[in-house]
Chain A
């Protein structure tokens, strides 16, 4: 042991060993910092999302849920709340109103808190730990308005009387289906049987909400999934509330991608450093072999040394990464005022494993190559053979990169995509750079192009350009996606996003309402809404029993909201077919519903609308953004169709905060209209967007730092060679001014080239990724090439100057001491 330790200490004196340590440490640090930070932001976002869902896991059914489930949750140690929700009529004196009754158990809500007030004019305050007492009912403000009932009025639900005691301004789980038409009331679960409202035939939704540690929730979910009957469905955060799901997914994917790219960048640094370590150690190994040491012994010896190095780098990286992340989070929290939960220790392990995989995967081929060289070959002074490199690359470096990507992505598909994308990018960069540099070198022998002569040595920098290009590509890609993502998110919830839905607008009120809206400078479109039940697909009758999936059954059981209009909805994307023009007939359907119920472009659908049958072919398929806060329809008929059927209108609009009187005015003038306030949901979505933005910016900072560090390692790896070169030029009479100019010009050109390449690829990749992964519209942005070239030139030349500046002082005497 002590011999190994001594050897380690001796080897530590090698500059390459220290550089390798630095590269490993930087990788571990980056992985740990990004990991810790991502972890915290992700759990902050999950917490937000679970509020909307009502728990980490929700099981619901149209029938009462078996007691097994409750027992299972208790056994596993999960927290549980129970909700039964159904529609009923509520009466106050002579007035009646359809309400959505939500009977809740005593520990509702599991996540988040209810907010409310004892007074209609007061703002909501936290009602944490409080729920309606027996005989009390809490309700949304609009119920008080529609009943014109005061607080503490007595209302009747079924056989029971309740006191209407509290105005609920915010229910965290309301985001799940904020389109519900009837105002929501909350009663104690224990009071439900006495109302007599719940008979076996009544349509209700029975839900069990669960929270707990990740492990508990995973176990519970796995258990429950084996027991579910077709009418029961399970929802977890991943498949949770639709309006937050997309934003969460995009943010998660982006964070994953950013972390992936930092690992790859750091990998480049390790490869560069390992290569230079091998160059340095060739002679030593030759001597060891000449003295009769076995290959195996030498390999074990080196590998042991490197693993120890990686272990130390990994541990130190995790520790420093943790503190770095804590600092960044603290700073960001001050700026954005969001609470971040504590980080888990997983990232520390990941950083340790990353360092070990990196040193094994990237140093092993170099070591094997080192061992393959015969002592004679080295003593004769020829350079080690490169023949085996290709095999080793395939056997070791590529799998290592893939494993690292997998560790980071935690998703095989994403890892594979990035892996092959990277290989393609590296090959492309390599090939173009080689072509350009060789071309320039050839050109430079012509008298007029002599100033390009300094680029001839740059052929050695082929690898450097590829590494720079990869680094810059990463930075540019993240910049592009970050900007696009943030813009897109913000556009999806702009400050003037609709905060009210108006439904039940009678067709004969349309003209007058439009006039009213115009007078108040409110711009909006009114969409007709026709209710119809799907009865036939391609003239074949369909019924809920034909479908095993609960979701499909539910869709067929209830009536669809159909519409009919001419302008393509702004927030939708056309996936197939053609949108309506003046001549076309037919339906335009939402993609998901087609998949669920099994119909597609060209099929015909028959709806039963108020007893009449109506059949059309599907002429287009749309993708709908459900988080757009606009009225969205599963099925839209060609303009003009269906308007002979009974219909109402629907719209969404933004009521400015300083004009709260508009809605009551409107309701007085058009009593049939129901106005639904969505600002609470909007607030949730907006706060989610803020968190996602924060995460993206935080991770971007880390990747930026990693990129710069890799640039530095790449320069560092070339330093000995550069030093010799500068000494030769000095001995030939080059002045330090000329050498300075050479460094600046050479690296500005290399950086510019790398940047332009990176910019070109960014345009391609950002569009592909945006389209396939992030659901963003494709936009070609040629400025990225110019931006890349500029950033590359300035960044690389400055970094090179800082790194190589000290070499200008080299005494050319070193050449004589060879």
Chain B
């Protein structure tokens, strides 16, 4: 079903690379992934809409991968599938070597616990909690022991918000909220971080600050980063860059 020769070559290349990397370093391996959804049509009937068709992708530990594409191209859907938030219609996704399609929702959640962090476009902080309490949340969910408060404060320190730890997040600016989200994402020192348009709701200047912070933390913790964005300058800072168009991935050569 290849519509473009280039894309087929890229996919084939990656498929061949997979065996070398599975041994130690592969974090995510995707083969022949498809996703269709039922969409409400104008005449009230539902019709099947194909969002992703035949995606193949391997992501190696410690690297940063950007996925760009136009609005509605299925970037976020792909991100959700990679994180195990949803299941594909066909194909396989291996996360940390485990086939997600064989796991129940709880088993997928357990796989994420403490190992996967998220940064969302609309921050998705818990509104009635303080900055500190939001950062504490993943630590407490993981039944970690030790001084969790200290760990959370340290994470806030790293994003430069330790002085606002006791503020309710609704009192913080958009940029500050996204920094709290970054602290929440990194506080468990996850192996893998998914970021969905992390600068999408921020002005240019704040967006640059937040993205700089994101890459710094990613490098410091050697975290694998999967970043979905339509901001090409952000994508250009990643080790790998893919474009998603018409349901297929295409490798974009990095200029750097």
With A450-B148, A732-B118, A811-B85: A816-B80 Cβ-Cβ less than 8 Å: yes
Question: In the assembled complex, how far is the CB of residue A340 from the closest CB belonging to chain B, in whole angstroms?
Answer: 50
Question: In the assembled complex, how far is the CB of residue A552 from the closest CB belonging to chain B, in whole angstroms?
Answer: 66
Asked if B196 and A816 make an inter-chain contact with CB atoms under 8 angstroms apart, the answer reads yes
Give Cα A445–Cα B148 distance, bound, in whole angstroms. Answer: 8
Give Cα A728–Cα B120 distance, bound, in whole angstroms. Answer: 10
Asked if B80 and A813 make an inter-chain contact with CB atoms under 8 angstroms apart, the answer reads yes
Q: Which of B114-166 contact A (CB under 8 A)?
A: 114-116, 118, 120-122, 124, 126-129, 132-133, 136-138, 140-142, 145-149
With A738-B141, A811-B85: A460-B110 Cβ-Cβ less than 8 Å: no
Query: Chain B contacts of A731 at CB under 8 A?
Result: 83, 85, 112, 118
Q: Mark B54-98, 1 if CB is under 8 A from A, else 0.
A: 000000000000000000000011011001011000000000000
Asked if A816 and B142 make an inter-chain contact with CB atoms under 8 angstroms apart, the answer reads no
Query: Chain B contacts of A381 at CB under 8 A?
Result: 174, 201
- A668 lies within 8 A of chain B by Cβ: no
Asked if B86 and A736 make an inter-chain contact with CB atoms under 8 angstroms apart, the answer reads no
Asked if B141 and A733 make an inter-chain contact with CB atoms under 8 angstroms apart, the answer reads yes
Q: Bin chain A's interface residue count.
A: 20 to 34
Give Cα A817–Cα B85 distance, bound, in whole angstroms. Answer: 12
Asked if B120 and A453 make an inter-chain contact with CB atoms under 8 angstroms apart, the answer reads no
Contact of B106 among A383, A728, A737, A815 (CB under 8 A): A737
With A381-B201, A732-B113: A816-B85 Cβ-Cβ less than 8 Å: yes
Q: Which of B109, B110, B133, B174 has the most CB of A within 10 A?
A: B109
Give Cα A724–Cα B125 distance, bound, in whole angstroms. Answer: 10
Asked if B141 and A729 make an inter-chain contact with CB atoms under 8 angstroms apart, the answer reads yes
Q: Which of B77, B118, B174 has the most CB of A within 10 A?
A: B118
Question: In the assembled complex, how far is the CB of residue B128 from the closest CB belonging to chain A, in whole angstroms?
Answer: 4
Contact of B128 among A460, A738, A812 (CB under 8 A): A460
Q: Which of B140, B145, B170 has the most CB of A within 10 A?
A: B140
- A344 lies within 8 A of chain B by Cβ: no
* Chain B residue with the shortest CB-CB distance to A380: B174
Q: Mark A731-748, 1 if CB is under 8 A from B, else 0.
A: 111111110000000000
Q: Which of A445, A460, A738 has the most CB of B within 10 A?
A: A445
Give Cα A818–Cα B79 distance, bound, in whole angstroms. Answer: 14
- B105 lies within 8 A of chain A by Cβ: yes
Asked if B120 and A733 make an inter-chain contact with CB atoms under 8 angstroms apart, the answer reads no
Q: Which of A685-744 contact B (CB under 8 A)?
A: 721, 724-725, 728-738
* Chain A residue with the shortest CB-CB distance to B170: A383
Asked if A728 and B126 make an inter-chain contact with CB atoms under 8 angstroms apart, the answer reads yes
Asked if A445 and B149 make an inter-chain contact with CB atoms under 8 angstroms apart, the answer reads yes
B side interface size, CB within 8 A: 43
Give Cα A816–Cα B115 distance, bound, in whole angstroms. Answer: 19
- A660 lies within 8 A of chain B by Cβ: no
Asked if B85 and A813 make an inter-chain contact with CB atoms under 8 angstroms apart, the answer reads yes
Asked if B129 and A457 make an inter-chain contact with CB atoms under 8 angstroms apart, the answer reads yes
Asked if B120 and A818 make an inter-chain contact with CB atoms under 8 angstroms apart, the answer reads yes
Query: Chain A contacts of B85 at CB under 8 A?
Result: 730-731, 811-813, 815-816
Query: Chain B contacts of A811 at CB under 8 A?
Result: 85-86
Asked if A447 and B124 make an inter-chain contact with CB atoms under 8 angstroms apart, the answer reads no
Asked if B121 and A818 make an inter-chain contact with CB atoms under 8 angstroms apart, the answer reads yes
* Chain A residue with the shortest CB-CB distance to B123: A818
Asked if A733 and B129 make an inter-chain contact with CB atoms under 8 angstroms apart, the answer reads no
- A441 lies within 8 A of chain B by Cβ: yes
Query: Chain A contacts of B146 at CB under 8 A?
Result: 447
Asked if B126 and A725 make an inter-chain contact with CB atoms under 8 angstroms apart, the answer reads yes
* Chain A residue with the shortest CB-CB distance to B83: A731
Q: Which of B132, B136, B137, B196 has the most CB of A within 10 A?
A: B137
* Chain A residue with the shortest CB-CB distance to B116: A733
Asked if A734 and B141 make an inter-chain contact with CB atoms under 8 angstroms apart, the answer reads yes
Query: Chain A contacts of B145 at CB under 8 A?
Result: 447
Asked if B128 and A734 make an inter-chain contact with CB atoms under 8 angstroms apart, the answer reads no
Asked if A735 and B110 make an inter-chain contact with CB atoms under 8 angstroms apart, the answer reads yes
Asked if B129 and A456 make an inter-chain contact with CB atoms under 8 angstroms apart, the answer reads yes
Give Cα A441–Cα B106 distance, bound, in whole angstroms. Answer: 28
9 closest A-B pairs by beta carbon, nearest first, are: A733-B113, A460-B128, A733-B112, A816-B76, A818-B122, A812-B85, A735-B106, A813-B80, A813-B86
7 A–B contacts, CB within 8 A, in A order: A381-B174, A453-B133, A724-B124, A732-B113, A734-B141, A735-B110, A736-B106
User: A733-B112, A735-B110, A816-B85 are known contacts; what are 4 more A-B pairs with Cβ within 8 Å?
Assistant: A459-B128, A728-B126, A730-B85, A731-B118
